[in-house]
A and B are shown apart, each in its own frame.
Chain A
């Protein structure tokens, strides 16, 4: 049986690992290579590493550093941050990334995503969505304030046959008060593609609650792993005790 994946999310600002709250008030956390090594030794299902300020600062991701992160990992790795050309994608795949995560370029250029899927294959093109509740709708938080509606964006990306979505709740980011169940309730109706739900997990029960809402995707988290005693293994053990299929 296919397992529910539990995925640590590492966010990076070009210098150090960081953790945000509601995408603001950044806390510095240290060395990403060390973190990747620890998660590998803890046998996690998968890892996501994102340079969250690359697009805004008009930088490219540091390939030397990313290679060192990937070299620590004997599990699948998704890398994101400032990806805006075929060269960027190709460079990341060459150093061993399994999936490339794209946000800003996807908002700007649907045709680029379509061509990237055709060229590299849908399995390695993942789309990042940072959702924030705005009255009735979820809109995408974007530093240029385009206010694109999440539902519409998912429909556009479905047409491009992308491989996976990483959907972050900005409202829940770093709050450790549980996942935004309503957000994923909406999103899963819009696509048949795998979704990684991210944002808000604080205790193992939060993961169980989201799965019990009939969300069968993957679950990503960072604060719980950075700031509490719970490891991905603890989370999965709790899930298993609740008859959820996980890899432990």
Chain B
């Protein structure tokens, strides 16, 4: 029973912080994007527009709820909350410090990958239930993309598992704390695995340059075409939370998590690394163009899959013969 209470209490704290960070990251992203395009971004609500996300949430709460007549209403209404639960749920197994973790599962890496992969189901459900051609095409694209990028994602995450000899994320971070961050040593395994992991994770979260499922120039808004108000906002939130939590996972697996190098380890290192990675993803988002579907597939199956398999094999050889 203590486990349940632990999950509830730590869950309440972690989820609250996640939601707050997500809300203000919207402001940060809009400001960053605006500066990159010689604009000012939000300025009116609060100092430098920092209260803009709160205004947005209040606006979305008031929006009329429209369910298309021809849609499958049950699935249509079920998909957004499921998407949010899946996106937040990944955070359960992520250790932010040796003690701040909701459930440090022994199969942590497997759990994170599994729940991360499930997030495509509500997206496809929404596309199907809308009974809208644009939404359905978006859903199909999301499935094709997630299904493909799942393979390099799992294999890239396998590299730290092999090097540390554990699937518990806390143990992987502790191993890096005792030895080296995987991105620093063995860097010829750590850096490529990190890059593949981040690319595949961007594709899983449907972010630019892999946001083909919602390509607004072709598909209006993809699966969210028919959604209004808070249900639309939940999908939007799920995407941001997914990216944020995936950044946390990448920080823990490759960047040493709570370890601070020569400095005292602590929660703040994990938070800093996650936010830096997250901001880097925004940078990518506002710099790169969108891939075409065939380019996306070719990148995955021709290059990422074989190179991640080669990485796993090299990691095995490295662990057996060297370390």
Say if A and B assemble together: no
Binding site for B on A (CB under 8 A): none
Binding site for A on B (CB under 8 A): none
